[in-house]
Amino acid sequence: MNAFAAILARDLRLSWRQGGASLLTVGFFLVTAALFPLGIGPERDVLARIAPGVMWVTALLSALLFLDRMFQADAEDGTLDQLALAPLPLELTVLAKAGAHWLSAALPLVIASPAIALLFDLGAAAVPVLALSLAIGTPALSLFGAVGAALTVGVRRGGALVSLLVLPLTVPALIFGAGAVEAASLGLDPQPHLLLQLGVSLFALALAPFAAAAGLRLALD
């Protein structure tokens, strides 16, 4: 556990020192979400109707910004080889790095989402559901992103390739997350959508560390 916590803390420090990943992610989220009301117009009914999908799509795109650097920097300076030889299983190393990505890139989006919801005139009942759905669903993005980042280690400018690999895997989380927010805005029970979304994240937690570790071992061989 000490080694796991050390990797987690190290990656959090690096993400902040390399340009403030959290600030850049939230900034991209704010700017991208704000473009939709400007382009579509001020009609409240239209904005409220598209809000769940727009919020989730922009959140996913924002969290993708730094996925390609999850293992790339460590591979370039030799740290990844040392981590592979360390007593800590590589699967737990992957989990620590995915956790650091979620804390630095996704958690700030969860915190900022209520403020963005005001731009779309989202109902008061739907705002906490939006934040909860992002908190439940974005771990799947970080975990599936670890798989994509592991498969593209050593590939130059692999950011676009990581996005192509990861985005299809996040579609269920997107559908259930947007569905939960829409249900809450209509006065319906969002719990079924949230439970399905939780299932997606748990599936990613069970599968992604092993898949990503296998990809890293192939890259290191």
Q: At what angle do helices 191-220 and 171-185 cross, to 10 degrees?
A: 160
Token pair listed for 147? 């798989």
Instruction: Look at the block and give the residue holding tokens 């906490």.
Output: 128
Q: What is the DSSP letter of 105?
A: I
* Phi–psi pair at 86, nearest 5 degrees: -70, 160
What's the rounded Cα separation, in Å, for the pair 64 and 46? 27
Q: Amino acid letter at 28?
A: F
What residue ranges do the domains of the chain occupy? 2-220
Separation CA 110–CA 26 (nearest Å): 10
Structure-token pair, residue 38: 């400007």
pLDDT per residue of the chain (221 residues) written in tens, 0 to 9: 688 888 888 888 877 776 566 777 888 888 888 888 777 777 777 777 888 888 888 888 887 877 777 887 778 777 888 888 888 888 999 999 999 889 888 888 888 888 888 777 777 888 899 999 999 999 998 999 889 888 888 666 656 677 788 888 889 998 999 899 889 888 889 999 999 999 999 999 999 999 999 988 888 77
pTM: 0.87
The two three-digit tokens of residue 37, written as one number: 């009301």
